[in-house]
Amino acid sequence: MRGRPHPDHLCGKRCNDDTTGGPLRHRHMISMAPGRCGRGPLSRKVEDYLEAIFRVAREKGYARTSDVAKELSVSPSSVVEMFQKLGHMGLVTYRRYEGVTLTPEGRSIAEVIVYRHETLKGFLSLIGVPERIAEEDACFMEHELHSETIERVRELVECLERSPAFKTEFEAFIKTREFERDRSGRR
């Protein structure tokens, strides 16, 4: 199994959310481990960029503007703007015309997001959510959930994957429910 990022990378602080004006559990849960908490929580957008850069760079070693723009379905000029911002934050090294590489700090944050993404996608796939929806929903939830929840989900998936009976039983259960819904729909 891959090494897990330290769960303390993730905190579930409460804050006043600018968009709703109300107190919310912080939507942007990445922060540095205790003792390294020099940085406040990051925005979802920053997290998405770090994740995309990580995915692109995993294949090529570095991430070009055009590849990240494609990965996130945004314009190259927004990517350049964000690359500069991430550079100022010390999360990437930006070279004009070449693209970016993650700094060790940027990389450790990206690894947490990717870990969250894979955990949640694994869970959604396990319960039979179609691939495209699992991908989209994982990308939404990865920013939102407490690290405690992510860990329990991880353990649940690991545990259920060891039980072949579960998959058979759950699939049969879903079929029964679909059958019942179809029947009551026809009445």
82 is a contact residue toward Mn ion (CB under 5 A): no
How far apart are alpha carbons 92 and 100 in whole angstroms? 6
Is 109:30 a contact under the CB 8 Å cutoff? yes
Among 26, 117, 121, 143, binds Mn ion (CB under 5 A): 117
153 is a contact residue toward Mn ion (CB under 5 A): no
Among 139, 145, 150, 157, binds Mn ion (CB under 5 A): 139
Give me the phi and psi of 103, to 5 degrees please.
-75, 170
With CB under 5 A as the rule, give the number of residues binding Mn ion: 2
Is 54:67 a contact under the CB 8 Å cutoff? no
Q: Residues 94 to 113: which contact Mn ion by CB under 5 A?
A: none
Is 114:142 a contact under the CB 8 Å cutoff? no
DSSP H helical ranges for the chain: 44-60, 65-72, 76-88, 104-126, 131-141, 147-161, 164-186
CB of 99 to Mn ion, least distance (A): 20
- Indicate the residue among 11 and 139 with the shorter CB distance to Mn ion: 139
- Indicate the residue among 117 and 154 with the shorter CB distance to Mn ion: 117
- Binding part of the chain for Mn ion, among 27-35, 64-72, 78-86, 115-123 by CB under 5 A, reads 115-123
72 is a contact residue toward Mn ion (CB under 5 A): no
- Indicate the residue among 99 and 142 with the shorter CB distance to Mn ion: 142
- Binding part of the chain for Mn ion, among 75-83, 88-96, 131-139, 166-174 by CB under 5 A, reads 131-139
CB of 80 to Mn ion, least distance (A): 22
How far apart are alpha carbons 92 and 88 in whole angstroms? 8
Is 152:93 a contact under the CB 8 Å cutoff? no
Residues that bind Mn ion (CB under 5 A): 117, 139
